[in-house]
Structure 1
Amino acid sequence: MEKVQVFAPASVANVGPGYDTFGFAIERLGDIITLTKRNDSKLNILKSEGADLPTNPEKNVATVAIKALLDSLESEQGFDVHIKKLFKPGSGLGSSASSASGAVYAANKLLGEPYRDEELLEFALEGEALASGMIHADNVAPSLLGGFQAVRSYEPLELFRIPTPEDLRVLIIFPDVEVKTSEAKGLVPKELSVKDAREQWGNVGALIHAMHAEDYKLMRHAITDRIAEPVRKKLIPHYGQVKQYALDHGAVGFNISGSGPSMFALFRSADAAKACMTEVEKIYQKADLRVLLNLSRINPNGCQVI
């Protein structure tokens, strides 16, 4: 193969109580990464679509991730890299993770698959670290591997997959404002009270059980966050109003997606989610603010050749 095109899905991180620990992939939104082999060792970034991304290979998460992969193999292979964004960076949907994951997945394919998909995670994390200033796998893992992923440990890196109900639907609500990951992380408290920590741990366990048992009542209570939501919700226009409406009209969970401003609402049926979409649109129309809405399942697939 001389050329490959890969879809790398967007993802929802934290999922309420799982700060830097939980994340799941979604459908339709993501990156389309096209990689073409070169006859030299250069990593060349072509003009991107959908966003104005850095063309310096040392400042683009995709090429930083590819470089980490090439260095591990002591390879001098060069690539032309084209990135098409199907959603805006700064959305809270793991933009940098999609680029990094899709890039290493594509490079691995063109190099003859020297690594298993799970082994590509450490290289994708190098790209993610460039964007956020630290290594965290809650977006990278679901984008690369699909499904609902949980990070048990960072040293050593260890993941496990949480099963999710077949009928669960995810509504993404993305008001057209930008929240930078670094800024949002700066708002998060450095210390927690024992009371808040205890509640957070309880909700982590409850959410895992609720997904296994398809216990939607427990799920609704478990998707509660004592760490990031209280400080980050101030950055999201009409957050409280939208959350209350969704929970009053069938949502079995609602919270901020990653750093925001995107929000996610979980529903037991597509019909309930569609009814909510109509009203949410009205809320933002009255505020003269554009909103992107995306309804999907939790995507069981990570990066895939298309």
Structure 2
Amino acid sequence: MITIKHQSITVSSPATVANMVCGFDILGFALQAPYDIYTLTISNEKGIKIIQEDAFDLPANPEENVSGAALLAFLEAVPEIPGLILHSKKNIKPGSGIGSSAASAAGVVVAANHLINNYFPKEELVRFAMFGEKVASGVKHADNIAPAIYGGVTLIRSIFPLDIIPIQAPDLYVTIVHPQIEIRTADARQILKQNILLKDAIKQWGNIAGLVAGLIHHDYDLIGRSLEDVIIEPVRSILIPGFNEIKIKCKEAGALGGGISGSGPSIFMLSTTLQIANSVEQIMQEVYNQIGLAYNTYVTTINHEGVKILDSK
């Protein structure tokens, strides 16, 4: 039986890195920073009212808004709640490649679930949130949503039926550069090849299996060897200035490896120490300073918790 425990809830919802180089649409992990802030309050008026407290000018119509679409799916399953008011403060820029839409969708459904004493399991929350991802990209994918909700690294073994496997990954440092260009997920999908060579598929399967095994066994050498993409990255990387130079120089500086975060334009690198992660950040900054392209950088870690409850009333 669904019971209302709180009238209002505030959460932080993390940025995420999807694909993890070779794991297109099936692997992802949550970040400690940056993150969005969402406050959800039960309303007696039916539907969703969205109050935006940022400068991104996202659609106010719930059906056209990532958070709104996820909440509409949630409300269909919870007739006990007539309506919701959402105060949205996004810090993760849309189109950045670090899971802005997933942070929106995941954050609000976790918040809504907390209002009803966490009635739904995490897997069901992913299903609700996927309605938001469909608004953003036209596809119900979960490689950003799952780590945002579960925390840590997650493997999406299947979408239909949904099968999510949390992976007990080691504590790694993550360095991210977000060049200030926008690559829409839908556009980045359109340029992908529809057919691939069998030899490339076999190599990719080996890298995915190696990466998962390396994460589980905390085998850093295996992680580094497996962070290779022979299918998606060669196509998408041409959209990102300085990509190849950054990847080569960062690995020379000691990074385990990395690549495109989601559909880009952000680039991520994994490191075993903060010192290496900081050196990687400096390399990223130097490359984009030489190119003359504005950017933001982050040095953070894997977030093993996911969406966090900040306050409830």
Provide the TM-score with structure 2 as the length reference: 0.94
The reply to whether residue 85 of structure 1 matches residue 105 of structure 2 is: no
Contact map agreement 2:154 2:164 (CA 8 A) in 1:
yes
Cα distance per residue 1:129-161 (max 9 Å; x no partner): 111111111000001111100011112100111
- Give the corresponding residue for 2:99: 94
Contact map agreement 2:183 2:264 (CA 8 A) in 1:
yes
The reply to whether residue 106 of structure 1 matches residue 107 of structure 2 is: no
The reply to whether residue 4 of structure 1 matches residue 9 of structure 2 is: yes
Structure 1: how far apart are the matches of 2:229 and 2:278? 25
Structure 1: how far apart are the matches of 2:114 and 2:167? 27
The aligned amino acid for 1:121 is V
The aligned amino acid for 2:94 is P
Structure 1: how far apart are the matches of 2:151 and 2:81? 30
- Comparing 122-131 with 213-222, which one deviates more in the overlay? 213-222
Identity %: 39
Cα distance per residue 1:37-96 (max 9 Å; x no partner): 212113111123142211011100111111111102234521111211112110111111
Map 1:1-306 → 2, pairs under 5 A:
1-166=6-171, 168-306=172-310
1:283 is displaced (CA, Å) by 1.6
Structure 2: how far apart are the matches of 1:160 and 1:235? 31
Structure 1: how far apart are the matches of 2:75 and 2:12? 21
Q: CA RMSD in A?
A: 1.3
Cα distance per residue 1:247-285 (max 9 Å; x no partner): 111010111000000011011100011122123212211
In structure 1, runs of 5+ residues without a counterpart are: none
Contact map agreement 1:19 1:227 (CA 8 A) in 2:
no
In structure 2, runs of 5+ residues without a counterpart are: 1-5
Contact map agreement 2:174 2:301 (CA 8 A) in 1:
yes
Contact map agreement 2:52 2:89 (CA 8 A) in 1:
no
Structure 1: how far apart are the matches of 2:116 and 2:45? 14
1:219 is displaced (CA, Å) by 1.4
The aligned amino acid for 1:185 is R
Contact map agreement 1:15 1:257 (CA 8 A) in 2:
yes
Structure 1: how far apart are the matches of 2:27 and 2:161? 17
Provide the TM-score with structure 1 as the length reference: 0.96
How many residues were matched structurally?
305
- Note closer, same or farther for the CA distance 1:67–1:75 as it changes in structure 2 (3 Å cut): farther
Contact map agreement 2:174 2:302 (CA 8 A) in 1:
yes
The aligned amino acid for 1:237 is P
Structure 2: how far apart are the matches of 1:261 and 1:198? 27
Structure 2: how far apart are the matches of 1:111 and 1:122? 17
The aligned amino acid for 1:222 is S
Contact map agreement 2:131 2:140 (CA 8 A) in 1:
yes
1:213 is displaced (CA, Å) by 2.2
